[in-house]
Amino acid sequence: MPRVTVWNEYRHEKTDPAVAAIYPDGIHTTIASALGEHGIEASTATMDEPEHGLSPDVLGSTDVLIWWGHLAHDEVGDAVVDRVQQRVLDGMGLIVLHSGHGSKIFRRLMGTSCNLKWRESTDSEVLWNVAPGHPITEGVEENLILDQEEMYGEFFDIPTPETLVFISWFTGGEVFRSGAVYQRGAGRIFYFRPGHETYPTYHNKEIQRVIANAARWASRNHDVTQKFGNPAPLMPPGS
Amino acid sequence: MPRVTVWNEYRHEKTDPAVAAIYPDGIHTTIASALGEHGIEASTATMDEPEHGLSPDVLGSTDVLIWWGHLAHDEVGDAVVDRVQQRVLDGMGLIVLHSGHGSKIFRRLMGTSCNLKWRESTDSEVLWNVAPGHPITEGVEENLILDQEEMYGEFFDIPTPETLVFISWFTGGEVFRSGAVYQRGAGRIFYFRPGHETYPTYHNKEIQRVIANAARWASRNHDVTQKFGNPAPLMPPGS
Amino acid sequence: MPRVTVWNEYRHEKTDPAVAAIYPDGIHTTIASALGEHGIEASTATMDEPEHGLSPDVLGSTDVLIWWGHLAHDEVGDAVVDRVQQRVLDGMGLIVLHSGHGSKIFRRLMGTSCNLKWRESTDSEVLWNVAPGHPITEGVEENLILDQEEMYGEFFDIPTPETLVFISWFTGGEVFRSGAVYQRGAGRIFYFRPGHETYPTYHNKEIQRVIANAARWASRNHDVTQKFGNPAPLMPPGS
Amino acid sequence: MPRVTVWNEYRHEKTDPAVAAIYPDGIHTTIASALGEHGIEASTATMDEPEHGLSPDVLGSTDVLIWWGHLAHDEVGDAVVDRVQQRVLDGMGLIVLHSGHGSKIFRRLMGTSCNLKWRESTDSEVLWNVAPGHPITEGVEENLILDQEEMYGEFFDIPTPETLVFISWFTGGEVFRSGAVYQRGAGRIFYFRPGHETYPTYHNKEIQRVIANAARWASRNHDVTQKFGNPAPLMPPGS
């Protein structure tokens, strides 16, 4: 069973009553609790803890890290970003949610700006499952409908996803690559679009199922010890 | 300059007055003429010619084949499908349009059913350019709008595109991977969704530009002679 | 636990004493037995059984099909090839071994010739693990060495693998993409190069481990019911 | 015609007589001169010029940047790395050679460590063309042989290449993904392995041809203006 840590910036919930009404204990608590209902043990970490709650010990015992940030990407210390990146390359899974597209760690791992279009309005969102058979869509119908969400639109400046899992439709005429899978080193990465703080998206059972599926899928399958450096020839001359 | 052959089933235009009104000389003629305006020499071939107009000589002097078919996929002879497939593997480009998703040659090259959802209704279509920088989107804006088109929806049973160039939005809530790039052997393949026979889509200047770009891109860059068989060792033992 | 069926042409073992000495009960029996040691239940099917041992009932209760063929690819009936392809698109895993690269079913799913170079000589083979972290390489070292094997060399006419798992080195100076992953419909496909009939490759514990890992990985995660056809709009006009 | 800038660290040539004997005017001069023979105009820039020779003006008029660095990756200023990255995302091509795998800019764009194995010894290298039909292999035979080169071996910690163009074989038993294609934003990237400073690799006509092909291929096809930000709905409600 994967050991999951849910990381949250945890600022909106403390300053915006509309957000606090939806997530009184923070987005991280809602997600961790939902994972528990799927049989996955999850702890939490937040920005304003020492080392943002992501000490070497915490990361060393985390199989999958879930990341929600928005307002304060720049406040995340580079040493912590380095540490998270290294753990991903060594095999830790990483699930980046919604506005986490702009986080230092996601941009670091992608190599691109990760910019996009957005609009807070009255859009509905339909997420289409374009990867039936992928572990992330286990038990997911052909589409998921969210009555109201923030719009994210293309062009989304990311590398071509290795697997595209969801494409979103928005009322206003936009589309978005909403579920994107990458491998970096031995680590699996999943970007999942939904989850604006002013909507109850993480209370949605179908969204919770996707995150739980992704956590199981992203969990390291096995220890990986990559060997680098300067080896002797494997096959001596004249062999 | 690529030598393009535009292949058309050419049945709807002869039996349906609504289609004939839009494409009086056939879809193939409209597309070939549009390519001419882009400086690309294009000839045509149709189903009811001998060998469907695709003799070894014709294929041997074709750099890029464009394919539109719908009603009569099953009438295309297997020997011609074999011949087209081999030419693609040897380096001929192939552009498959709209209902050509169900053609023998496309299904042969994809290995999947190529099934999808569809609806003839009052949908508008917005094609979003998700590959800015790709030669196929040269001069193409961030999106193309078609006031009315047939809806094609996911799940579209194709292999993961090597590059996804366009994603379509439809009024009814659907999305579709509308521009998909593949390599098979030395040949480049582009599937492009728009072009239902009852709409004037191939008269649209932006759609024409995409097809012209794709024809230039899919054209073989250089002769390729793949070597197979049973060679002597390149490096003799004890070298 | 996946239900695996190991399919073998089973001709070499009956006609060539050198092969019979290595695989007295057939390659299929050796592989099935090895899977059993990994806790995977495997049955077998062979060319000369009715329907090549691949009736609708057998395929319907097979989660992963393993395929070894060589001399008699052309004798496999098209109806059986159609049936296997459909089962793959519906979610059955398929592992194609060695000379199975030339089988009807592999060429059908790839869309290419699947041709390559080969040489029966005194080559050693080193398979390098280029996908640490992938479930197929769980417990696999950075390389696997086979003292003697048939050489397979590039160019190997396959579509770009979605994940390249192994690259082989041969004494004679050749390289080969020896472990290649594809998705077709809801089905996972793995091509794995080693296993010429005149070498004891399938008795090698490391090779057995790769095949067992691949069988677990390729097993359908969940039922997939792809919906195609002509649906009503999800979002009515003016919604 | 692409405007190419060849960037070189230019340290080995000034301190190591063995290197100076091969590249008396620096690796950059040899490469720029070779491009000239292929009809491509190339200027040069080196580490110890102001802003490492990569001012905004220089980058603004560069379609393709070629990068060779080794000893002094850490001395490249972050502001210049930022600037190069942004230009790549905006459409500038980037060709990274040999030990440039460890450069800040390549690691920035890849998101991984880009570590590998290496050995300076008596290895020969055979580069196998696994992408016949790709513009980078135009006129390239099925393989290129370098009598002596530094060995680079797997695991090479890079994201899965979008197209794998070359795989190298080394005498000592190693293989390496030697030619790897990526897209980041609107920019095309090619990593090409050969070129250790103590061997005359960049005087080799076949290697020069690959670099010239790559420069033409990586050159921006067209201006790209990606739009981000907060747009009005394209399709007003009730449309």
Complex ipTM value: 0.95
Nearest to A167 by CA among A191, A202, A187: A191
Domain with B13 in it: 4-111+178-218
The Cβ of residue D42 has, within 10 Å, a number of other Cβ atoms equal to: 24
pLDDT of residue D236: 75
Query: Could you read off the pLDDT of B147-179 as tens digits, one per residue?
Result: 999 999 999 999 999 999 999 999 999 999 999
Query: Could you read off the pLDDT of C100-127 as tens digits, one per residue?
Result: 999 999 999 999 999 999 999 989 999 9
pLDDT band at D95 (very low <50, low <70, confident <90, very high): very high
* Residues A181 and A136: beta-carbon distance below 8 Å: yes
Interface test with A, best of B169, B193, B239 (most A CBs within 10 A): B169
Nearest to D121 by CA among D196, D204, D27, D24: D196
Q: What is the CATH number of the domain that holds C67?
A: 3.40.50.880
pLDDT band at C158 (very low <50, low <70, confident <90, very high): very high
Contact B154 A130 (CB under 8 A): yes
Quick one: which H or E segment has residue A96? Answer: strand A93-97
DSSP B73: G
Contact A132 C171 (CB under 8 A): no
pLDDT band at C238 (very low <50, low <70, confident <90, very high): low
Query: Could you read off the pLDDT of C186-226 as tens digits, one per residue?
Result: 999 999 999 999 999 999 999 999 999 999 999 976 777 78
pLDDT of residue D227: 87
Q: Is the pLDDT of residue A97 over 80?
A: yes
pLDDT of residue A218: 97
pLDDT of residue A220: 78
Q: Is the pLDDT of residue D27 over 70?
A: yes
Q: Distances from the Cα of A66 to the Cαs of A23, A55, A218, in angstroms?
A: 17, 15, 10
Report the number of distinct structural domains present in chain B. 1
In this structure, the dihedral spanned by the alpha carbons of residues A38, A43, A47 and A51, taken in order and rounded to 10 degrees, is -150
Contacts of C234 in chain B (CB under 8 A): 172-174
> D16-22 long-range CB contacts below 8 Å, 24 or more apart?
D16/D197, D16/D198, D18/D198, D19/D197, D19/D198, D22/D197, D22/D198, D22/D199, D22/D200, D22/D203
Contact C128 D156 (CB under 8 A): no
- Tell which wins on pLDDT, B31 or C224: B31
Contact D227 A117 (CB under 8 A): yes
Q: Tell me the residue length of chain A.
A: 239
Interface test with C, best of A145, A234, A239 (most C CBs within 10 A): A234
* Residues B120 and B103: beta-carbon distance below 8 Å: no
Domain membership of residue B18 (yes or no) is: yes
Contact A121 D233 (CB under 8 A): yes
The partner residue sitting opposite D174, judged by closest CB among A113, A228, A234, is: A234
Query: Could you read off the pLDDT of A105-156 as tens digits, one per residue?
Result: 999 999 999 999 999 998 999 999 999 989 999 999 999 999 999 999 999 9
The partner residue sitting opposite B175, judged by closest CB among A128, A132, A237, is: A128
Contacts of B185 in chain C (CB under 8 A): 112-113, 157
Nearest to A156 by CA among A112, A188, A119: A112
**Which of the other chains make 3 or more beta carbon contacts under 8 angstroms with chain A?**
B, C, D
Nearest to B107 by CA among B165, B155, B158, B148: B158
pLDDT of residue D224: 78
Q: Is the pLDDT of residue C21 over 80?
A: yes
Domain membership of residue C91 (yes or no) is: yes
Interface of A with D (CB under 8 A): 85, 89, 108-113, 115-119, 121-123, 151, 153, 155, 157, 159-160, 162, 171-174, 182-185, 226-237
Q: Is A60 exposed, middle or buried (0-12, 13-18, 19+ CB in 10 A)?
A: exposed
* Residues A19 and A12: beta-carbon distance below 8 Å: yes
Closest chain B C-alpha to C33 CA, distance in angstroms: 31
The Cβ of residue A104 has, within 10 Å, a number of other Cβ atoms equal to: 19
pLDDT of residue D188: 97
Residues facing residue C176 across a β-bridge? C168
Question: What residue type is assigned to position D10 of the chain?
Answer: Y
pLDDT of residue A237: 66
Dihedrals φ, ψ of D114, to 5°? Answer: 60, 25
Contact D133 B234 (CB under 8 A): no
Among all residues of chain C, which has the CA nearest to that of A163? C162
Q: Which two tokens stand for residue C80?
A: 């059986």
Dist. CA B120–CA B134, nearest whole Å: 31
Task: Cite the DSSP H helix spans in chain D.
Answer: 12-15, 17-22, 27-37, 56-60, 78-89, 104-110, 205-218
The partner residue sitting opposite B185, judged by closest CB among C113, C232, C237, is: C113
3-state secondary structure of C170: strand
The structure tokens 């450069």 sit at D103
Q: Is the pLDDT of residue C185 over 90?
A: yes
Q: Which two tokens stand for residue D95?
A: 């060709």
Dist. CA A182–CA D159, nearest whole Å: 8
**Residues A209-222, mean pLDDT to the nearest whole number:** 92
Q: Is the pLDDT of residue C181 over 80?
A: yes
pLDDT band at D196 (very low <50, low <70, confident <90, very high): very high
Dist. CA C21–CA B44, nearest whole Å: 60
pLDDT of residue B112: 98
Query: Could you read off the pLDDT of C37-59 as tens digits, one per residue?
Result: 999 999 999 999 999 999 999 99
Residues in contact with C189: Cβ distance below 8 Å, sequence separation at least 6, in sequence order? C88, C93, C94, C95, C96, C109, C181, C182, C183, C218
Q: Which two tokens stand for residue A165?
A: 């899992």
**Residues C162-175, mean pLDDT to the nearest whole number:** 97
Cis? peptide before D155, omega within 30° of 0 = yes
Interface of C with D (CB under 8 A): 126, 128-130, 132, 142, 153-156, 160, 163-164, 167-170, 173-175, 177, 237-239
Contact C133 A235 (CB under 8 A): no
pLDDT of residue B225: 74
Contact B135 D221 (CB under 8 A): yes
Question: What residue type is assigned to position C73 of the chain?
Answer: H
Task: Measure the N-to-C terminal CA separation of chain A; round to a whole number of Å.
Answer: 46
Contacts of C233 in chain A (CB under 8 A): none
**Residues A46-74, mean pLDDT to the nearest whole number:** 97
Question: What residue type is assigned to position B52 of the chain?
Answer: H
Contact C155 D237 (CB under 8 A): no
Contacts of B238 in chain A (CB under 8 A): 237-238
Dist. CA B165–CA A185, nearest whole Å: 27
Domain membership of residue A118 (yes or no) is: no
pLDDT of residue D231: 92
Closest chain A C-alpha to C86 CA, distance in angstroms: 14
Dist. CA B5–CA B10, nearest whole Å: 14
Contact C174 D169 (CB under 8 A): yes
pLDDT of residue B114: 98
Domain membership of residue C168 (yes or no) is: no
Buried b (16+ CB within 10 A) or exposed e, C40-79: bebebbbbeeeebbbeeebbeebbbbbbbbbeebeebeee
pLDDT of residue A224: 79
* Residues D181 and D94: beta-carbon distance below 8 Å: no
pLDDT band at D92 (very low <50, low <70, confident <90, very high): very high
Q: Is the pLDDT of residue A239 over 60?
A: no
Interface of C with A (CB under 8 A): 91, 124, 126, 132-135, 138-139, 142-143, 145, 162-163, 171, 183, 185-188, 220-222, 224, 226-227, 234-235, 239
Half-sphere exposure of B134 (CA within 13 A, CB side): 25
Closest chain B C-alpha to D6 CA, distance in angstroms: 22
Q: Which two tokens stand for residue A234?
A: 């494997």
- DSSP string of D174-231? -EEEEEEEEEETTEEEEEE----TTS-GGG-HHHHHHHHHHHHHHS--S------B-P
Contact D184 A111 (CB under 8 A): yes
The partner residue sitting opposite A133, judged by closest CB among C132, C171, C183, is: C183
pLDDT of residue A1: 81
Closest chain D C-alpha to A38 CA, distance in angstroms: 31
The partner residue sitting opposite A133, judged by closest CB among C138, C224, C227, is: C224
Q: Is the pLDDT of residue B221 over 80?
A: no
Q: Is A156 exposed, middle or buried (0-12, 13-18, 19+ CB in 10 A)?
A: buried
The Cβ of residue D129 has, within 10 Å, a number of other Cβ atoms equal to: 23
Domain membership of residue B120 (yes or no) is: no
Interface of A with C (CB under 8 A): 91, 124, 126, 132-135, 138-139, 142-143, 145, 162-163, 171, 183, 185-188, 220-222, 224, 226-227, 234-235, 239
The whole-chain average pLDDT of chain C stands at 96
Nearest to C165 by CA among C200, C197, C189, C195: C189
Buried b (16+ CB within 10 A) or exposed e, A19-43: beebbeebbbbbbbbbbeeeebebe
pLDDT band at D237 (very low <50, low <70, confident <90, very high): low
Q: Is the pLDDT of residue D238 over 60?
A: no
Closest chain B C-alpha to D33 CA, distance in angstroms: 24
Closest chain B C-alpha to D145 CA, distance in angstroms: 10
Nearest to C8 by CA among C79, C70, C94, C80: C70
Among all residues of chain B, which has the CA nearest to that of C160? B183
The whole-chain average pLDDT of chain D stands at 95
Instruction: Please state the three-class secondary structure of B186-238 as a single string.
Output: CEEEEEECCCCCCCCHHHCHHHHHHHHHHHHHHCCCCCCCCCCECCCCCCCCC
**Residues D100-104, mean pLDDT to the nearest whole number:** 98
Domain membership of residue D158 (yes or no) is: no
Q: Is the pLDDT of residue A62 over 80?
A: yes
pLDDT of residue A227: 87
Instruction: Please state the three-class secondary structure of C16-35 as a single string.
Output: CHHHHHHCCCCHHHHHHHHH
The partner residue sitting opposite C171, judged by closest CB among B115, B155, B237, is: B237
Give the gyration radius of chain D's Cα atoms: 18
